[in-house]
Amino acid sequence: MKVVLFCGGQGMRLREYSENIPKPMVPIGYRPILWNIMRYYAHFGHKDFILCLGHKADMIKNYFVNYDETISNDFVFTCGGKKIEMLNTDIDDWRITFVDTGINSNIGMRLMQVKKYLDGENIFLANYADGLTDLNLDVMIDWFKSNEKATASFMAYQPSQSFHVVNRDDDGTVNSISHIKSSGLYINTGFFILKKSIFDFVEWGDELVNEPFQRLIDKRTLISWEHKGFWASMDTYKDKQKLDEAYSKGNPPWEVWRKNNVSGKKLNAWHKD
């Protein structure tokens, strides 16, 4: 199953990094967040990637063209470095298609530009390329396939940040106030499963989750999978700091490819402030 990754945005809320490198290349540990997301999909057997490029596309291309396996793999060094024997590899069996989809394109426009690379794919995966999770992807895919009416789905997550949701009238009168975790609100995390028929609902210029998804809602063919485990996005510098902290403690929850990883276990302090 092919994986479309939207890597072209400018990441304005993460300007401490994105002014110099594209947001998907901001590092978490030894590797950029984009690599962590791709490694997640590869763990579940999805290793055919389509990268929708835009802002600083050359940096993403150069990263993979000049990829150094030794950074995150064990190896044997002999002959003064003339011979390196890799004991394991990361991306040897990955297939990556690099597509320039424009600097100012929105998600829907980027998706439309890679349609021709999805020939033969009745179902494909897509991702915003800025979030990490321990979701059991196989379970979500099986659930999606079992729902014959569905055209698209996404992973829904109930945020737990320490702020409150307010319902108010136009004159400012407050009708209710509740902690976001008990508000019943869910967010779209950007982990998508899409049928090829999604293109029947997208017009040029549409933002994917606005007009196309509203058309699916009208047809009652948009569904969402609730995930109660770990998920975190990297939208701000503070988000990156939290991901760095999780990585530095060892066994971060999104590294489901590690044998000692306990999938589904959230960090206790995540999103407390």
Q: How many angstroms separate the CA atoms of 57 and 104, rounded?
A: 13
Residue 134 lies in a domain: yes
Q: How many domains does the chain have?
A: 1
pLDDT, one tens digit per residue, over 30-68 is 899 999 999 999 999 999 999 999 989 999 999 999 998
Query: Does residue 65 belong to any structural domain of this protein?
Result: yes
Task: State the pLDDT confidence band at 266, using cuts at 50, 70 and 90.
Answer: very low
- Is 259 part of a structural domain of the chain? no
DSSP string for 3-52? EEEE-----GGGHHHHTTS-GGG-EETTEEHHHHHHHHHHHTT--EEEEE
Question: What sign for the dihedral angle of Cα 6, 10, 11, 16?
Answer: positive
Return the percentage of the chain with pLDDT > 90, whole number: 66
Question: Domain range holding 142?
Answer: 3-157+186-248
Residue 271 is predicted with a pLDDT of 44
* Domain membership flag for residue 152: yes
| CATH number of residue 199's parent domain | 3.90.550.10
pLDDT digits (tens, 9 = 90+) for 133-188: 999 999 999 999 999 999 999 999 988 766 788 888 888 888 888 777 767 789 99
Q: Is residue 44 part of a domain?
A: yes
> In this structure, what token pair is assigned to residue 67?
């990829």
pTM of structure: 0.88
The per-residue pLDDT for 11 is 56
Residue 16: the pLDDT is 61
Residue 95: inside a domain: yes
Does residue 176 lie in a domain region? no
